[in-house]
């Protein structure tokens, strides 16, 4: 194969991987949907380069109204593909969900998915860690 063809193929895969990095992981989205419930308001899935204000405003408004919601935000990661999500169900239970995958391990990497039950969730759009959970010691 000619070097020019190899370079074109490599460029294609780099572009696809950059685009894919802005797409929220299905595993995270499924977990948020399960926690929030079928009637939850979807406040958005925002990549690192996206405007978070509307999604955060949606979640704040839903919480203030006592409604269920979910949202996912991509976070900065040095060599990881990182997302955080927040979910509130119709009964007022709240969770933060963390998704982290080591991108340096190649295409077969195993992601980590964790969740934390919260007694309160606050949003700080100007910080690296946008979603802040005050952990709950009870059961949902």
Task: Tell me the pLDDT tens digit for each residue of 105-138.
Answer: 555 567 889 999 999 999 988 777 889 999 998 7
Residue of 109, 114, 122, 120 lying closest to 17 (CA atoms):
109
What integer pLDDT is reported at residue 23 of this predicted model?
84
Average pLDDT over every residue of 25-35: 96
Residue 14 has pLDDT above 50, yes or no: no
Rounded Cα distance, 107 and 113, in Å: 17
Q: Is the pLDDT of residue 80 over 80?
A: no
Model-level pTM? Answer: 0.79
Is pLDDT at 13 greater than 60 in this prediction? no
pLDDT at residue 8 greater than cutoff 70: no
DSSP 74-135: EE--SSEEEEEEEEE-TTS-EEEEEEEEEGGG-TTPPPEEEEEEEEEEEE-TTSSS-EEEEE
Residues 60-86, mean pLDDT to the nearest whole number: 91
Burial category of 88 from C-beta neighbours within 10 Å (exposed 0-12, middle 13-18, buried 19 and up): buried
- pLDDT score recorded for residue 109: 66
Residue 106: what pLDDT? 57
Strand partners, 59: none
CA distance linking residue 118 with residue 90, whole number of Å? 15
């Amino acid at each position: 194969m000619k070097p020019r063809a190899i370079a074109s193929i490599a460029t294609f895969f780099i572009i696809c991987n950059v685009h894919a990095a802005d797409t929220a992981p299905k595993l995270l989205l499924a977990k948020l949907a399960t926690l929030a419930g079928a009637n939850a308001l979807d406040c958005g899935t925002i990549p690192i380069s996206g405007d978070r204000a509307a999604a955060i405003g949606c979640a704040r408004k839903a919480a203030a109204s006592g409604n269920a919601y979910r949202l996912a935000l991509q976070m900065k990661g040095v060599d990881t593909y990182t997302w955080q999500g927040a979910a509130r169900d119709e009964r007022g239970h709240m969770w933060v969900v963390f998704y982290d995958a080591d991108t340096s391990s190649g295409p077969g990497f195993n992601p980590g998915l964790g969740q934390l039950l919260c007694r309160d969730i606050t949003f700080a759009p100007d910080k690296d860690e946008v979603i802040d959970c005050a952990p709950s010691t009870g059961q949902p």
